Amino acid sequence: MVSKKRAREIMGGKSFFGVEEAIGYFGVNPTRRQVAALSEIPFSKAVLEQSKDTHILIAVLPLSIIEIRDKVEKSLFSYDGAWKQPFADERGEVSWELISKTLVDNSTSKNWWEQKALLGDDEEIPTAQVMTYTIIGHYLATGERMFGRVYVRTSSTDLGNDHVGVGLFNPANGLDIYTYWNETRGDLLGLAVSKTAEL
């Protein structure tokens, strides 16, 4: 088992976003139960060492996309009709996530099923809530904008069961959240992944 202190040392300041960062940047007040749930890192030292340059280790608290948007500068988000979809109100669950900083290789210009086939045995596709939390949290903590020129397809779906894309996070645009037909293939629509917990 890796302690939070050791995990922070392994990942480095720009690849670790813990409970303290969530409190500081999102203004959340986690419950004792939530803090307890995040007291252990569900990844081995070996996995963290392997992921420190390619992933962000992030403590995700139940904060919906709408709630995140309301807690930060409005310019960090681009407005779209997707806000009216139920997924934008989903708060998710307390968890540690290892999220890839860049697109999965060769994941653009593929439809949903072709992208899903790229997953490794220890990988899954994050929700729109987790990706939004990660992208905005990482920016607030480091000033770095992930996925500034592309969208990542998430596991979240709209009312038509098509999957939600999150990205194009640049100073001119703000984070954009958009739904794509599952059949859509685009050179700006790829895939990010999270490693599955080991516990």
Q: Where are the domains of the chain?
A: 4-195
Check residue 197 and give its pLDDT: 83
Global confidence as pTM: 0.95
Check residue 89 and give its pLDDT: 95
Check residue 199 and give its pLDDT: 52
pLDDT by 10-residue block (mean), the chain, 199 residues? 91 94 95 94 95 97 95 88 85 96 97 97 97 98 96 96 96 92 96 87
Contact present, 133 and 60 (Cβ < 8 Å): yes
Check residue 2 and give its pLDDT: 87
Contact present, 56 and 101 (Cβ < 8 Å): yes
**pLDDT, tens digit, 9 for 90 and up, residues 141-170:** 999 999 999 999 999 999 999 999 999 999
